[in-house]
Amino acid sequence: MKLRTVISKNIKVLVVFIIFLSQYSFTEELAEVKNELLVKRGETLVLEWGCNTCHSPKVYTPEGQMQDPRRLLSGHPADSVHPKIPDELLGTNKWGGFFTPDLTSWAGTWGVSFAANLTPDKKTGIGNWTEQDFLLTMKTGKRKGTGRKILPPMPIHQLAQLSDDDLKSIYAYLMSLKPVENKVPEFIPPKNQ
């Protein structure tokens, strides 16, 4: 059979195949661009809301305390030394709370809370969380919607007001971070509970 005949006989199949290929890569590219935009918006929201203030370990420079760019949003450093908590000073008519200078651990009437690792590390961060897990956590104030209540000073009630689109952008940005292995300690309940 001549080449021309082969081509003309299969022309429909060929056209369908080419359309399929071009659409496939176009859809993929579109998804990539969409994700890049989400990540950028998420980064802006994270900066505006000051998530780094509590969730990023700090380094000490001549200009003062800064967020450690190598461990962004990886939570309270596991190797930190904990100062003694002055329980007798905490209470309804006493002081409301104390915090370590790096602002990653907080003692208050709720006990002691440690800022979580928000990087996509699968073992110690939120690398195994789906977008839905993240949205449920932020909207219900409970880990993945059913776990334990998220403690202060995490501004959960304010963050719960964000739209789904904003929360999805924050999630996309967090997932784009470098995973950092850092096992944050479990919270310590108050002594008089």
Binding site for ligand HEC (CB under 6 A): 46, 49-51, 53-55, 106, 113, 115-116, 118, 126, 137, 143, 150-151, 153-155, 159, 170, 187
Our CB check for ligand HEC shows the closer of 51 and 90 to be 51
Question: Smallest gap, in angstroms, from Cβ of residue 52 to ligand HEC?
Answer: 8
159 touches 138 (CB < 8 A): yes
CA proximity to 114, closest of 68, 145, 153, 141: 153
Question: Smallest gap, in angstroms, from Cβ of residue 13 to ligand HEC?
Answer: 50
Our CB check for ligand HEC shows the closer of 9 and 122 to be 122
Question: Smallest gap, in angstroms, from Cβ of residue 190 to ligand HEC?
Answer: 13
98/90 Cα distance (integer angstroms): 9
As a 3-state breakdown, the chain gives helix, strand, coil percent values, each rounded to 5, of 45, 10, 40
Our CB check for ligand HEC shows the closer of 61 and 137 to be 137
- Angle, in degrees to the nearest 10, between helices 164-175 and 131-140: 130
- Around 24, how many Cα atoms within 13 Å sit in the side-chain half-sphere? 6
Question: Smallest gap, in angstroms, from Cβ of residue 136 to ligand HEC?
Answer: 10
Our CB check for ligand HEC shows the closer of 5 and 142 to be 142
